[in-house]
Amino acid sequence: MPELMQGITIANRYTVVSRLGSGGMADVYLATDSELGRQVAIKVLHRRFASDPDFVNRFRQEAQAAAGLQHPNVVSVFDRGDWDGTSYIAMEYLPGRTLKDLIREEAPLDPARAVAIATQICQAAGFAHRGGIVHRDVKPQNVMVDANDHATVTDFGIARAGAGGITEAGSIMGTAHYISPEQAQGHEAGAQADIYSIGVVLYEMLTGKVPFDADSPVAIAMKQVTQTPQLPSALVAGVSPDLDSVVMWTLRKTPSDRPASTDELASALNAIAERLRPGYDTTATVAFTAPEAAAVAAAAAEMPVTGAMGATSDEAQPPVEDQEAAKKRKRNWMIAGGIAAGLAVIVGLLFATGVIGGVDTKTMPLVVGQDKQLALTVISNAGFTEQPSIQLVQSNQPNGRVIKQTPDAGARVPSDNKITLFVSDGPGTVQIPTVADMPAADAQRLLEKLGFKVVVRQKASIDVKKGNAIGTDPAAGLSILKGSQITLFVSSGQDQVLVPDVKDQALADARSTLQAAGFVVPTATTQVSDQPAGTVLSQTPSGGSKEDKGSTVSLVVSAPWIAVTDESGKLVTVAMHDLKAAGFSSIATSPPSCIAPNNYVASQSPLGGTDQPKSAKITLTCGPDPALP
């Protein structure tokens, strides 16, 4: 939609001050609330989405979800409504910058600062989770940070409240760099999805980079499902092993392997924050709870050895007399750990090759979003021997694209396991019906029943009754893809416009003004008057009235005037010739028979020397030759 200008008032209450930013669904403006005398942020839905029920529902869902969340780290929603053909939300105005801006300008952040901000995000998400709301799109762009590093989470636009959420399994929502593996595969996303996203945000604050990047959202999603990120400490010095462990804990591929709740994650972060506090004894053990310690240890066990084992530079060393004992204990642990790790690898290989269990298993690759032929090649190259089963599904996705797979990506399954790919067969085509002269509501229902997305536009019409359909664009009879957008034109009746007042204008100017307003101006009639020749004396209909566009406006103008020559004493035939040459078209004689040759003008009316309009009638009275006695 066009940018709203400063001074425009929304819903007779919110006056626009300036534009704050724009997103995929809406623009956000700083406005003044005239009722409460405060500044607010107004989010206005893009008009191109205002006629789409899905977008409108999502927009309203954001307002409903966020309105019930009163928390210091969650943006407050004050009001919601409809205005000028679209919808808006009035929210708390948060001065400052987004966390994304902060990361761009200052990352990598000091670990203590990053942990503090991440903890606040946890508190906001945890409060929402306890209310049954999952954000589903936690990212730095949706976090505002003020000058004191107070964080506020915004944009619950794709939040899911309870079981009646606006997104369903099979649809990928969120931003590719921050979505969880389950979201990348189109599965339902619970609180653990938000925890994964918080982990990505923490990773980015610590390193200045996201864990996974690629040239396309699909490629990033594949990495979210199948790859393990580098440790933060491998990218930036100063990130401690325990912080590495907590970050990697949040980024586990399986939701149940992550922190059980944001409260559990916040508790682990608080323990690290305590160690990062200035003056803290760095030789002390981080105070994780028992479940946290077990989970963090499991996460640490899965991390690459580099960066996960080394001591930080400020860790205290054991006394000299205890070093030999410490070295012995370390050797014993390393031997035991090496044996255990070796056994685990051997057992894993035996399972993978089928020596144990008797089944050759392979890891199912991610092929959702790929072309069918490429997906078949990827699956074959992964070692699966059975040809996948293809099920064609009507979908708005491009024809031939894989929209769902069974088993899921990342699953460890037998190599001869039957794989099913659900492939888009396109939405199918539908012929546009004729809806001309149908009541608009009936025409819209018919088109929507056939699967079209209908946008209604008003259009003036002389021939079609007001409120009835005129037609569609594309036109009736054409076959187009089901689900396509179609414009339904509805008659607003004859388009009436204000008739300009052109009285006292020159004829040329009056004609130009009326034609520009959409009126037809026939040849004007003339009338003798005292006004200069060609001046509009009157118009029908009168100026200021409303008439149908394209109708006629008649004008009466002042007739042109010319001087009447004195024809007295001339032959009648000569006098008539002179008057016609002067421009007069109506010349009579009295009596009519005196026009015969050798008759002279005894008198004339009007008299010679006077000014008369060209339309004036000149009468010549005959008489004898004035030269005769």
Residues of each domain in the chain carrying CATH 3.30.200.20: 9-92
pLDDT at 309: 30
Beta bridge partners of 454: 486
Any idea which of 29-38, 115-124, 133-142, 291-300 has the lowest mean pLDDT? 291-300
pLDDT at 104: 94
Which position among 27, 79, 137, 244 bears the catalytic label?
137
Kindly report, residue by residue over 200-210, the tens digit of the pLDDT. Answer: 999 999 999 99
Kindly report, residue by residue over 120-136, the tens digit of the pLDDT. Answer: 999 999 988 887 888 88
Q: What's the maximum distance between 2 C-alpha atoms anywhere in the chain? A: 167
Kindly report, residue by residue over 515-543, the tens digit of the pLDDT. Answer: 998 899 998 888 877 788 889 999 999 99
Q: Residue 310: pLDDT above 90?
A: no
Three-state secondary structure call for residue 363: strand
Any idea which of 52-66, 155-169, 276-290, 471-485 has the lowest mean pLDDT? 155-169
44 pLDDT band, cuts 50/70/90, is: confident
- Give, for 623, the enclosing helix (H) or strand (E): strand 617-623
Query: Strand runs (DSSP E) across 425-524, as ranges?
Result: 429-431, 453-459, 469-473, 479-481, 485-491, 496-498
DSSP symbols for 543-605: TT-EEETT-B-EEEEEPPEEEPP--TTSBHHHHHHHHHHHT--EEEEESGGGGSTT-EEEEEE
Taking alpha carbons only, the member of 53, 48, 13, 51 closest to residue 27 is: 48
Instruction: Identify the CATH class of 9-92.
Output: alpha beta
For domain 429-491, say whether CATH 3.40.930.10 is its number: no
Do residues 242 and 275 lie in contact, with contact meaning Cβ atoms separated by under 8 Å?
yes
pLDDT at 342: 42
pLDDT at 316: 34
pLDDT at 548: 80
For domain 561-623, say whether CATH 3.40.50.2300 is its number: no
- Would residue 613 be called left, alpha or beta, if left means φ above 0 and alpha means ψ between -120 and 50 degrees? beta
Percentage above 70 pLDDT, the chain: 79
CATH dotted code for 361-424: 3.30.10.20
With tokens 């954001």, the residue in question is: 62
Residues of each domain in the chain carrying CATH 3.30.10.20: 361-424, 429-491, 496-558, 561-623
Beta bridge partners of 455: 487
Kindly report, residue by residue over 226-264, the tens digit of the pLDDT. Answer: 899 999 999 999 898 889 989 999 999 999 999 999 999
The domain defined by 496-558 folds into: Trypsin Inhibitor V; Chain A (3.30.10)
296 pLDDT band, cuts 50/70/90, is: low
Mean of pLDDT values over 306-315: 33
Output b/e per residue, 101-120; b: 16+ Cβ within 10 A: ebbeeebbbebebbbbbbbb
Domain 97-311: CATH superfamily is: Transferase(Phosphotransferase) domain 1 (1.10.510.10)
Any idea which of 54-68, 84-98, 394-408, 442-456 has the lowest mean pLDDT? 54-68
Q: Residue 287: pLDDT above 80?
A: no
pLDDT at 446: 94
Taking alpha carbons only, the member of 243, 211, 206 closest to residue 224 is: 211
77 pLDDT band, cuts 50/70/90, is: confident
Report the number of secondary-structure helices (H) and strands (E) in the chain: 16, 31
Mean of pLDDT values over 92-108: 91
242 is catalytic: no
pLDDT at 159: 44
Cα–Cα distance for residue pair 495/32, rounded to 1 Å = 37
Any idea which of 28-32, 280-284, 432-436 has the lowest mean pLDDT? 280-284
Residues of each domain in the chain carrying CATH 1.10.510.10: 97-311
Q: Residue 165: pLDDT above 90?
A: no
Burial class (CB in 10 A: 0-12, 13-18, 19+), 618: buried
